[in-house]
């Protein structure tokens, strides 16, 4: 990432959000199972740069945007929560990194404070950055927040994730979050197939359990093979930066995204499942945007007899002390 590009990405525009702050996760169609996440967007963008990040194709700018009409956010949540039945799993990391600019924006703490009065809400802050972890101590009720860390192997972090925290720093930050009273989550998404992936991804899972000694402090973990809208390939090709990301053979899925062949994805998931279950057979492990067939072939179908949303809601209820 050159200096100008980094400067662009670190600029924060402040503006009002004229639309809705709260939207359901869009991944609900074409036969893939969605996790039923509810997205709150207090800000967009982030100052790091991952070459696989779809946001670079999604937005027509690189900088971050912080929405300042927080009263509207609060009012919208109040109105929608009045109609909501059961537990809600929120996340703020869909259109940017939840914590990258927390020291400037305070967005995660603001969202946690707004949700504090609703006993049936759990919010996840997803990040690849670790510099702002200490600020999370200001969250009054850490039991109602999950700090999610995006994971990858050191090899993939070094070639695909510019300016992000190292694997070790992410794990140390996760341990600190647990000490502060939060539960944590680990997301292997996107996973890549390359020479040695089997060993290296398994080692990352082993490391997780060497840093987090109590598996109950891990809310959930997710797996997702690399997938992308073709528009990202087109964009990266303009600067000849589409490799090695788009070097392997990819197929077009029912949702129009390029992804690995199904047998390869199943292989990824099977291997990871085995490693996770060696450490914790009760681990809440789920697949991102995969079909029921892939769940079954990966040996994970029995985990979700009542569906993926129910599986994760049950876990959220347990964390919240509702069940």
| Min dist. Cβ of residue 48 to ligand SF4 (A) | 4
Report the C-alpha dihedral over residues 251, 287, 56, 133, rounded to 10 degrees: -160
C-beta of 46 vs 147, nearer to ligand SF4: 46
Alpha helices in the chain (DSSP H): 3-10, 55-58, 70-81, 102-105, 107-115, 154-160, 167-179, 197-211, 230-238, 262-279, 292-297, 308-320
C-beta of 91 vs 96, nearer to ligand SF4: 96
Tokens 């992308």 correspond to what residue? 228
C-beta of 53 vs 221, nearer to ligand SF4: 53
**Which residues have C-beta within 8 Å of that of residue 215, sequence separation ≥ 6?**
209, 279, 280, 282, 283
| Min dist. Cβ of residue 231 to ligand SF4 (A) | 15
CA 229/CA 243 separation, integer angstroms: 15
| Min dist. Cβ of residue 86 to ligand SF4 (A) | 29
| Min dist. Cβ of residue 91 to ligand SF4 (A) | 12
CA 246/CA 250 separation, integer angstroms: 8
| Min dist. Cβ of residue 55 to ligand SF4 (A) | 5
C-beta of 144 vs 257, nearer to ligand SF4: 257
* CA distances in angstroms from 137 to 143, 213, 218, listed in the order given: 12, 21, 18
C-beta of 23 vs 140, nearer to ligand SF4: 23
| Min dist. Cβ of residue 22 to ligand SF4 (A) | 19
C-beta of 97 vs 267, nearer to ligand SF4: 97
Enumerate binding residues for ligand SF4 (CB under 6 A).
46, 48-50, 53, 55, 96-97, 128, 164
C-beta of 170 vs 265, nearer to ligand SF4: 170
| Min dist. Cβ of residue 49 to ligand SF4 (A) | 5
Walk across the sheet containing 64-67 and list its strands: 12-15, 64-67, 43-44
**Which residues have C-beta within 8 Å of that of residue 213, sequence separation ≥ 6?**
none
| Contact call for residues 66 and 100 (beta carbons, < 8 A) | no
Supply angle C-alpha 312, 318, 323, rounded to 5.
115
């Amino acid at each position: 990432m050159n200096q100008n590009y980094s400067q662009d990405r670190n600029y924060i525009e402040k503006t009002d959000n004229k639309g809705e702050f709260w939207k359901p996760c869009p991944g609900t169609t074409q036969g893939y199972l969605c996790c039923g996440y509810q997205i709150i967007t207090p800000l967009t963008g982030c100052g790091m740069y991952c070459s696989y990040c779809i946001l670079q194709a999604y937005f027509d700018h690189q900088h971050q945007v912080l929405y300042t009409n927080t009263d509207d956010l609060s009012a919208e949540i109040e109105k929608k929560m009045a109609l909501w039945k059961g537990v809600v799993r929120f996340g703020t990391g869909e259109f940017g990194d939840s914590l990258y600019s927390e020291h400037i924006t305070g967005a995660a703490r603001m969202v946690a404070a707004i949700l504090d009065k609703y006993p049936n809400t759990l919010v996840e802050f997803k990040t690849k950055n670790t510099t702002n972890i200490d600020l999370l101590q200001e969250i009054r009720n850490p039991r109602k927040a999950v700090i999610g860390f995006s994971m990858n192997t050191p090899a993939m972090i070094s070639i695909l994730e510019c300016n992000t925290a190292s694997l070790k720093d992410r794990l140390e930050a996760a341990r600190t979050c647990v000490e502060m009273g939060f539960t944590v989550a680990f997301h292997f998404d996107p996973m890549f197939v390359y020479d040695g992936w089997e060993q290296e991804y398994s080692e990352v899972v082993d490391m997780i359990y060497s840093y987090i000694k109590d598996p109950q402090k891990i809310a959930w973990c997710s797996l997702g093979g690399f997938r992308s809208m073709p528009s990202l390939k087109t964009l990266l090709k303009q600067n000849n930066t589409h490799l090695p990301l788009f070097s392997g053979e990819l197929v077009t899925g029912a949702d129009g995204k390029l992804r690995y062949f199904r047998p390869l994805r199943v292989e990824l998931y099977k291997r990871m499942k085995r490693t996770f279950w060696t450490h914790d057979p009760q681990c809440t492990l789920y697949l991102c945007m995969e079909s029921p067939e892939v769940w079954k072939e990966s040996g994970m179908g029995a985990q979700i007899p009542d569906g993926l949303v129910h599986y994760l809601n049950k876990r959220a209820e347990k964390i919240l002390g509702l069940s």
